[in-house]
Structure 1
């Protein structure tokens, strides 16, 4: 009897979405990613679609291919691992059936309670207590001594325990990825446009990064999206293959301190006309 595959958790889906965005940002096909990593093309397809949890080394390898810091993506991976290994909630106890009408209840013989045994093997209990106290003392000493150097040499890939800081601001964000820089965690919606049936383009902005970008849904292979702002270099996203369709994608960021100057241009494949849309009030 075969078991049905488990549905991915919300954390696993977020991790898979981040990996798809990084792979799209790299401009590499799955075949090229497989050729430059120890993992096959079919394995990468399962990782990116959320069918199989990726190993930590695969996440690091993909980030290096895309030349992006792995810290934020590894934080998503850690949350997905924690969620996947979380023990299931215990099932509710089965209800006790009511006796049928007219049935004679059968008396249940109860065992008399056993007298509590006090002071059983006191020496063993005291020894265990001493071991626990000694271990706690050693842990306390280690934390006090390790604190200074841990704060100075902590691994850059370790996930942050609180809200992470943004990795760039202004011109340093131009051309950068919204996930790797953490700018895409809580951005503001500037405008929403629907250039064609099934296609949605959102202009988004993060004041903490001083940068904006376009998020697209419903894209097709070969579609081109270019985001620009006053005084910033335009940034372009081209949909490379079928694995970059059916998911949310982001253009690279463009620096600006005026989100109202953001503009996105869309060229639909094949040979579709170029249409540009300025920032405007969001539409539902």
Structure 2
């Protein structure tokens, strides 16, 4: 028996709606989008209809073509990316109750109903009202107990998708390590460029987040005893937005270090996790 298909998450629907708004701002058809980006017409149709999750670069490209700031669409994309990495949930079909056999018997001939006492109706109404009042009082008393039990989660999903060595080279957003990390230190190699060293103890991993980068800039994050990870800004669609390097594994955020090589040809500069002394 095949399992029912996974439903699209609310985050993915919100991301697709944001893409449709951007396309309307751009005034471009699907064919024109395919001609101006690395993505085909059929790919854009899936992204805009919510049938497929777009890559981050596609969102940045559409923001550039629509001449719209990318911060909000990218935030929606990151939420959708995080939601897609949660363990899938499928709802099992409800069991069909078995039909009980029905016995057939002869119906006795109808007779005239007995004449009821004129006060019988009033007695029945009073009994119903008493039952309603009794149930209402019981629900009022049971309400606090029921609400307290409802607040207890049935099951808890794992917060992070990796830990320790399993995080090396992976994306901080996709693994949910970037949900609430600590900023270890901040550096500004040149005016307008900001580099943050970030760390999540729950994942045992760190990475570098950059703003204000230019095409060709290179950022390498490393930690003692770990394999360095590098981010190179590929094109203009990767500028004007926040980017982050792949993660490196470490149990001590003070061993983190980021090195910056700018496309302008300036010497390579490295910065430690500890902020510079005043």
Q: Give the alignment's TM-score, normalised by structure 2.
A: 0.50
| TM-score normalised by structure 1 residue count | 0.49
